Copies of this chain bind each other. A is one copy, B any other.
């Protein structure tokens, strides 16, 4: 069913805006391959990334309910995006309650991730922030294993800084320190984590918040009785 509704699937270069703040958006955008991020700008020019989008993520969920979104979306790597016109997306939501529930659940998971980011931005040291980010990404990418895990990592240091509220310079110093402590290796857009437990400890990372989706069905099931 979903396939019929797709109007287009398209490739974009890296570092291009897919969505512009305060512009009307007519398509729901789903990241199929590659990375992107949401960001907002302060009037004074300051920039803050507010979400990282990896394959499977929806770039602008709220366009379904709001005419304008309060952020921009920019590609981080070459990327392929699947677009669904609002009208069709809403029709789908209308016809299949499960899809509606899934969309709502996604919005809530994004809230949970945002909460953890707030905790990082407000309370953690630069080292813990970076470590926490890496732990989160490893899980969201579905990387398995506890020792010597390796995965592609296209983020540049200045982008890490924008994500975490740090300058690229300080990111550089902190990454060096993480490397010297033997917690990570980062080169050629590839990250390896020798000891996941150690990095998580340094980050104060608790992965449970990312597994929320496993519970969507469990909690939604009682609905059947009530209906």
- A13 interfacial contact with B, CB 8 Å: no
* Chain B proximity mask over A38-58: 1 for CB below 8 Å, otherwise 0: 101011101110110000000
A68, B220: Cβ atoms under 8 Å? no
* Chain B proximity mask over A114-130: 1 for CB below 8 Å, otherwise 0: 11111101111000000
- A226 interfacial contact with B, CB 8 Å: yes
> Chain A interface secondary structure, helix, strand, loop or mixed?
helix
Q: How many copies does the complex hold?
A: 2
Which listed residue (B93, B212, B226) contacts A94, Cβ 8 A? B226
A50, B108: Cβ atoms under 8 Å? no
B122, A48: Cβ atoms under 8 Å? yes
- A32 interfacial contact with B, CB 8 Å: no
Q: Tell me how far the C-beta of A60 lies from the nearest C-beta in chain B, rounded to whole angstroms.
A: 10
- A139 interfacial contact with B, CB 8 Å: no
* Chain B proximity mask over A203-224: 1 for CB below 8 Å, otherwise 0: 0101011001001101110110
- A156 interfacial contact with B, CB 8 Å: no
Q: Tell me how far the C-beta of A98 lies from the nearest C-beta in chain B, rounded to whole angstroms.
A: 12
Chain B's closest residue to A217 (CB) is B65
Q: 8 Å CB contacts to B: which residues of A62-97? A: 62-68, 70-71, 86-88, 90-91, 93-95, 97
- With A50-B119, A88-B226 given, name 19 new contacts (CB 8 A): A40-B115, A42-B124, A48-B118, A48-B123, A51-B115, A61-B108, A65-B216, A65-B220, A66-B212, A67-B215, A67-B219, A70-B115, A70-B209, A70-B212, A90-B222, A91-B227, A93-B223, A111-B111, A121-B165
Interface residues of A (CB under 8 A from B): 22, 38, 40, 42-44, 46-48, 50-51, 61-68, 70-71, 86-88, 90-91, 93-95, 97, 100-101, 103-105, 107-108, 110-112, 114-119, 121-124, 164-165, 204, 206, 208-209, 212, 215-216, 218-220, 222-223, 225-227
